[in-house]
Amino acid sequence: MRKNGEIMKKISIFALIASLFASSVVMASEVNVFNARHYKADGELYSKFTNMTGIKVNLINGKSGALEKRILSEGADSSADLYITADAGRCGAMDAKGALQSGLTSAAIKDAVPKTFRTNKWVGIAKRARIIYYSPERVTGAELSGMTYEGLADPKWKGRLVIRKSSNIYNKSLVASLIKNNGKKATAEWAEGVVANMARTPTGNDRAQIMAVAAGEADIAVANTYYLALMLSGKKGAEQQEAAKKVKAFFPNQNDRGTHMNVSCAALVKGAPNKANAIKLVEFLLTPQSQEHFTNNTFEFPMINGVSPSPLVVNNLGLDFKQDMKTKLASYGKNQAAAVEVMTAAGWK
């Protein structure tokens, strides 16, 4: 009887070990995404990834600032595998704070994403351009001929320009790119000119800038490309849809470096408990089916070749424009503090 009892005890121990091993396998079949992109369509995409791979995507949704603060405060105890957000400047800033790690270096990632739009710690998963919108009734072709971001400081635009607050990350990255290309001193002078040209104190989001032009409060606005298509889609209501029809898009700097580009980015968090699964998810987000999902639902430009933007984007913004492939997006995070300093000194609210 004692022998049988010892056998049963050993079997129980083996069963416990097997159970723990099975639990660890189940636990390992997941990836924790700290997500600052607030699109319902993204959730649908993560569900497709789970169905294909069996890897569960745990979404921790929140605003960028709150998620970043949590990742940084938790440090090595953070459960975050990936931090996904809507601006390369944010990923760059997190890298500068030591919150990220190398690992996004697979052949699939490198083949899909040009060097300009990635590092070994974060990669772009969808592109957008920050461009000029104008009123075709009040702005002539001659005024826009050869127009650049630098030209926004030209006195001819005095009282005619609207743009978001200096605290907006899209503006921080735009100004950071100008510092990279033109130097801090020249950009400081530029920022003073931009402030002098503002039709009003900065207020509202990008769509509010487009609506201001449509309403005659300004002649030109600076906003990201996908917002026009979003408004035209009718998803933001009839008023915004009608406003979007009253403006036209213009891509600056076509005669030199090209239009300022930015990305939604996926960053690999330092100490990620499910690093391999995180890399698999990034690779999935760069497949044609995922890229088509982005373009058709968020109206961003695809990151990879061979995928077309949404028809709303193609028909109202076009595809034939020169992108800035010279300015590495890693510079946005590196020059972010200088960009804030420049805008603050200029009185940019």
Residues 96, 184, single domain; the answer is no
Residues 71, 160, single domain; the answer is no
Residues 143, 240, single domain; the answer is yes
Q: What pLDDT shows up at residue 128?
A: 97
Sign of CA dihedral 238, 240, 241, 242: positive
Q: Distance between CA atoms of 337 and 179, rounded to whole angstroms?
A: 11
Q: What stretches of the chain adopt beta strand conformation (E)?
A: 30-35, 56-61, 82-85, 122-134, 161-162, 220-224, 248-250, 261-268
Domain-located, residue 314? no
Residues 206, 296, single domain; the answer is no
Q: What pLDDT shows up at residue 271?
A: 95
Residues 123, 135, single domain; the answer is no
pTM for the complete prediction?
Answer: 0.90
Q: What pLDDT shows up at residue 28?
A: 59
Q: What pLDDT shows up at residue 39?
A: 85
Q: What stretches of 62-212 adopt beta strand conformation (E)?
A: 82-85, 122-134, 161-162
Residue with tokens 């995070």: 333
Q: What pLDDT shows up at residue 41?
A: 85
Spans in the chain with pLDDT lower than 50: 1-27
Q: Do residues 317 and 249 lie in contact, with contact meaning Cβ atoms separated by under 8 Å?
A: yes
Q: What pLDDT shows up at residue 318?
A: 82
Residue 139, CA distances (Å) to 69, 162, 221, 239 in order: 43, 14, 12, 22
Q: What pLDDT shows up at residue 280?
A: 98
Helix (H) or strand (E) holding 334: helix 330-334
Tens of pLDDT, residue by residue over 156-212, are 999 999 999 999 999 999 999 999 999 999 999 999 999 999 999 999 999 999 999
Nearest to 308 by CA among 286, 291, 325: 291
Residues 168, 212, single domain; the answer is yes
Q: What pLDDT shows up at residue 20?
A: 32
Residues 342, 233, single domain; the answer is yes
Domain-located, residue 315? no
Residue 91, CA distances (Å) to 68, 98, 100, 235, 301 in order: 10, 11, 9, 29, 19
* Lookup: tokens for 43: 């959730």
Q: Provide the number of structural domains found in the chain.
A: 2
Q: Do residues 291 and 126 lie in contact, with contact meaning Cβ atoms separated by under 8 Å?
A: yes
Residues 115, 132, single domain; the answer is no
Residue 147, by phi and psi: left (phi above 0), alpha (psi -120 to 50) or beta? beta
> 3-state class of 122 per DSSP?
strand
> 3-state class of 225 per DSSP?
helix
Residues 51, 143, single domain; the answer is no
Helices within 29-105 (DSSP H only): 40-53, 64-74, 88-96
Domain-located, residue 53? yes
Q: 304-317 in b/e burial notation, b at 16+ Cβ within 10 A?
A: beebebbebbeebb
Domain-located, residue 316? no
Residues 205, 150, single domain; the answer is yes
The amino acid at 189: E
DSSP one-letter code for 256: T
Residues 116, 242, single domain; the answer is no
Sign of CA dihedral 259, 260, 264, 270: positive
User: Hey, which residues does 115 pair with through a beta bridge?
Assistant: none
CA 94 to chain centroid, in Å, comes to 14
Residue 217, domain CATH: 3.40.190.10
Domain-located, residue 317? no
Residues 140, 172, single domain; the answer is yes
Range of the domain at 74: 2-127+263-309
